[in-house]
Chains A and B, each alone.
Chain A
Amino acid sequence: MLEASAVGVFYGDREALREVSLRIPRRKITALIGPSGCGKSTLLRCFNRMNDLIPGARVEGEIFFEGFNIYQPGVDPVEVRRRIGMVFQKPNPFPKSIYENVAWGARINGYRGDMDELVERSLRRAALWDEVKDDLRKSGLSLSGGQQQRLCIARALAVEPEVILMDEPCSALDPIATLKIEELMQELKQEYTIVIVTHNMQQAARVSDYTAMMMLVEGTRAGTVIEFGETKRIFTNPRDKRTEDYITGRYG
């Protein structure tokens, strides 16, 4: 459903990603792992054209979503981002009420249905409803870090995307809040396709169905995918020596 074909990314003169071809399976969780600076977040941002927002960024190759190339002329990047949502490393709720945080995206997309119902449904899907239902007017910023991150997930879900991209969604959270997000991801994959970037290999092993291992192309600063496969296989029997070294902590 989501497929990268020979994708390369440049930030100005600097090549950040080279020749990435990858198929993201539908309604599964795919983890992107690899050492810092190997292009995981860059690749993630290609999937919903977030790199467009970075001055000097240039994307080569093609990203197909449901069969069409999202980089072809005439495609509206805003519509791409509605269908392929994103959750960031640091929870970033708007300085508005919980209700408004969730309703915001739907409202600017011209949602005409029952807004109360949409807010409740999104908060329920993000496993936050029970904790906030009595105080939806409270500021989103008054919530704990883990709740804020689930609020951001609810906000992403409210525009009814098909894919959710997560860029280290738990790196700012404690272990309990992390587990809640991980449990939530298992719920969400029934309906959504999820791609997650994580530095935490145990997290990749716990939550994902498929894993893509990324690495710098030797002698360059450009990252690429060196191995892709079922997570269980990657973590018990990786084929590439570099994957083995990385997941067993031999590669710094």
Chain B
Amino acid sequence: MKGGKNMALRESFERELARLHEDVSSMGAEVQRAIVRAIAALDHRDVERARSIIAEDEAINEHRFRIEAACHGLMATQQPAARDLRTLIAALMIIVDLERMADHAKGIAKTVILTANEPSFPPAPDLRRIADRVRQMLDQGLQAFATGDVALARRVCEADDEIDHLYKQLFNVLLSYMLEDPRTITRCTYLLWIAHNLERIGDLATNVAERVIYCETGHLQDTNF
């Protein structure tokens, strides 16, 4: 980036872009927190915590619209081009992905409430692995957006295959439980729902990483097959 008098030409736009980055990061942190709390609510079968996740989702939605409006304003007034334009487009798409991730966290919380009176879940270590990996993907995706780290973004995209593999493995394990003991069918089905929510969060984290790659390189690519 050039210094000196040239920067003064667009100082206020630079400030707005920096603020946009901060806003997306802080929305990302809220979403991460919702996901972490949803997993904790599941671990502890904590209905109160699950309810609060559902209640807090509204604030995340509002945050998204605030950022969206700010992007619209910058597009209308600054005529962004090149990287500036790509940054705004990436931000607009990332906040939608983040909002959907929060919806999936809410989905997990709802399942926690629905299953409150079910007996304990059968052991499913792959579910824990999926949860940990997905959280890490989102964390790295947001970090890549904040720092413009394309290599990190690519690693997030690659991790998605691992999630798909774990998801299939978990599916087979749960299927075997259900075949062995049909009384577990309800519980196992709920666990599959939860795994599906986590798997979708992984896909959306991949989208975030793809947007970072677009923002930094100008190349649109789909790494989800």
How many residues in B have their beta carbons less than 8 Å from beta carbons of A?
Answer: 17
- Given A236-B86, A237-B86, the answer on whether A248 and B2 have CB atoms closer than 8 Å is no
- Indicate if the CB atoms of A247 and B82 lie closer than 8 Å: yes
B80, B82, B83 interface centre (most CB from chain A within 10 Å): B82
Any chain A CB within 8 A of the CB of B9?
yes
Please state if B82 and A235 are interface contacts (CB–CB under 8 Å): yes
Interface size of A by CB at 8 A reads 16
Q: Does A251 contact B (CB under 8 A)?
A: yes
CA distance A252 to B8 in the complex (A): 9
Which of B2, B5, B6, B218 is A237 in contact with, Cβ under 8 Å? Answer: B218
Decide yes or no: A236 and B2 within 8 Å by CB, A249-B9, A250-B7 being known contacts.
Answer: no
- Give the residue of A201, A205, A238, A245 whose beta carbon is less than 8 angstroms from that of B2: A245
| Interface hits, A207-252 → B, CB 8 Å | 235-238, 243-245, 247-252
B2's closest neighbor in chain A, by CB?
Answer: A250
Contact A238/B6 with A249-B13, A250-B1 known, Cβ cut-off 8 Å: no
CA separation between A201 and B82, bound complex, in Å? Answer: 12
Within B57-108, which residues are at the interface with A (CB < 8 Å)?
79-86
Question: Are A236 and B6 neighbours in the complex by a CB distance under 8 Å?
Answer: no
- Tell me, rounded to whole Å, the shortest Cβ–Cβ distance linking A226 to chain B: 14
Mind listing 22 A-B residue pairs with CB under 8 Å? A201-B79, A201-B81, A202-B79, A205-B81, A235-B81, A235-B82, A235-B85, A236-B85, A237-B82, A244-B82, A245-B2, A248-B80, A248-B81, A248-B83, A249-B10, A249-B13, A250-B2, A250-B7, A250-B10, A252-B5, A252-B6, A252-B9
